[in-house]
Structure 1
């Protein structure tokens, strides 16, 4: 029988210990051993290395000088927030949102630039992103030399491992090597990630899935995205590919293949509205869904019909995902939630009808109106997770 690569096993165990300290710290070595099912000897060796690298700190609970306390104080371990800083960003067609975080993921500064960038030349988009990163870093009282990694979350189909954007509604071109472009400009390692994966990790680290090791996030924004967490790790396709849920096939129609985006995409929902006026301006500024909510409350029948149709399609898609993965929780996020009750009610009804009887009650549906800052914090979490996986020495990650 072939044995596992010892170096790989050490790296896996090290990541497991560090992530356990992040999730449950301050925590003792004994508790780490119990949660990771690693031996106390292994945990002691790993935590000693993490202390040497400055990634974790000790905290003493209790005081031997206190006569009322018995025994020696407990030595607890927690992340060192100053071990590294990263930048996370949410890049959309009409705004750029940046955060700088410490090693724990705490936000040190945030910046929003309401600038429309979709379909601009790649150089213009890169200029705006670079300016946003640099400004947010300065706002945190840092320089780029103090930042270990930058992660940019964008909509579309993205190869995480290579940084290539196969397609995105933001870019005119396909197969854009945006990670290399931004790494060269910033002189800082830059990751490009699906925004759906970023918001998935945000909920796992800071939000409504902190208690779970497995779950699904569906993002309903300009594109429809999917994030799958399994065993505390993001599931990615070949080459680290993200999942464009909008390409999911719902069936065949008179015009051929019927995809989810043709029923529930933002352009499809808003597309039947007049080309001029306030609504068109709201769409141009990225406020189309918020304005649609106002019109739905005013009983705009065209939008109500579109919202119901979109909700039904998303409900069927969610049922299909639950059929495949059977996750304990499905979190739905994004601007389409602003469509309100016509959308949500039709989604719930379609989901209930389409879910197999054997899986009824397995998955909890959670609807979350996450802020843009939270999406950007998720991108920062992607960067931090990669640092957690990296071999370190006493001067930083050995990348």
Structure 2
């Protein structure tokens, strides 16, 4: 039994490596994927054949180029855009957006709305988030069955385990379990996370050679946020916001921060602090 489990885990890992290699390279050949992943050519052939049959990958005939070497031209593999889609929702100060992103990473539809987040009630904030997602899902051009996940990014302190926004400078409302609310409403798996944590993860996926083991992603806007990666893993701390250095104390008893404390880094370096 244990051998079977290890074999399944290995197979899933190898499949993920192949998909990741295709996503990062665009239209690599099987030979290029083997060189990138270190997997054997026979393994690459078997995995790519399965993924093509499942509709996850496709052969990109247009990528054939005239080779200076003898033999058949290499045929590139690409991600099938129709394999799945993700709804990416971003809630920030006075702004709400949603984008439909296909499996190849292309934005196929989006919507943006201006809101007065600082004065909205809890129910109004939730209703706006649900409504903007509903409009995308009800778009006749979108295959709802292809939507694999709803992902919500938000500025502030989050708890990814509780799937909730605990506190955010964009609203006086607290402890809103956005992920559970969206999942119940649409029956689609949902996650929510601090926006800077998502930025750090995205950077690592986009350029793993540059963003590999230890790095930080800093967002300077109305507030200050940070995503922290240590030893190749996102560092989240107890409540998924371990990198929130904007609310570390810079000067005890200093300027008043939006979080209610005094002396935070953000109270001196956030754009509202600079304006002040």
TM-score (norm 2): 0.79
Which residues in structure 2 correspond to 1:136-285 (within 5 Å)?
Answer: 136-138=136-138, 141-142=141-142, 144-203=144-203, 212-214=210-212, 215-229=215-229, 235-238=234-237, 241-242=240-241, 243-250=243-250, 252=252, 258-270=263-275, 272=276
Give the superposition deviation at 1:246: 0.9
User: Is the contact made by 1:109 and 1:140 (CA closer than 8 Å) also made in structure 2?
Assistant: no
Task: Flag structure 1 segments of 5+ consecutive residues without an equivalent.
Answer: 273-399
1 CA distance for matches of 2:125 and 2:95?
11
- Is 1:77 equivalent to 2:77 in the alignment? yes
Q: 1:172 to 1:252 in 2, by over 3 A?
A: closer
User: Is the contact made by 1:227 and 1:234 (CA closer than 8 Å) also made in structure 2?
Assistant: no
Give the superposition deviation at 1:171: 4.3
User: Is the contact made by 1:144 and 1:188 (CA closer than 8 Å) also made in structure 2?
Assistant: no
**Who is 1:277 aligned against?**
none
Q: Deviation string for 1:218-270 (max 9, x for gaps)?
A: 00123321123568x66132467132121234465679984312321344333
2 CA distance for matches of 1:170 and 1:26?
41
**Who is 2:109 aligned against?**
109
Q: The residue matched to 2:169 in structure 1 has which SS?
A: coil
User: Is the contact made by 2:153 and 2:198 (CA closer than 8 Å) also made in structure 1?
Assistant: yes
**Who is 1:100 aligned against?**
100
User: Is the contact made by 1:94 and 1:115 (CA closer than 8 Å) also made in structure 2?
Assistant: yes
User: Which of structures 1 and 2 has the larger relative contact order (alpha carbons within 8 angstroms, sep 6+)?
Assistant: 1
1 CA distance for matches of 2:31 and 2:219?
39
**Who is 2:12 aligned against?**
11
**Who is 2:90 aligned against?**
90
User: Is the contact made by 2:203 and 2:211 (CA closer than 8 Å) also made in structure 1?
Assistant: no
Q: 1:257 to 1:223 in 2, by over 3 A?
A: closer
Task: Flag structure 2 segments of 5+ consecutive residues without an equivalent.
Answer: 256-260
Q: The residue matched to 1:174 in structure 2 has which SS?
A: coil
Q: 1:18 to 1:122 in 2, by over 3 A?
A: same
Q: What is the aligned-residue RMSD (CA, Å)?
A: 3.3
Greater share of residues in helix: 1
Q: 1:140 to 1:261 in 2, by over 3 A?
A: farther
User: Is the contact made by 2:82 and 2:146 (CA closer than 8 Å) also made in structure 1?
Assistant: no
Give the superposition deviation at 1:81: 0.9
Give the superposition deviation at 1:161: 4.2
2 CA distance for matches of 1:17 and 1:230?
25
Q: 1:69 to 1:258 in 2, by over 3 A?
A: closer
Aligned positions, number: 263
**Who is 2:48 aligned against?**
47
Q: Deviation string for 1:83-131 (max 9, x for gaps)?
A: 1111112211311111111101101111111111235333221111111
Give the superposition deviation at 1:185: 1.6
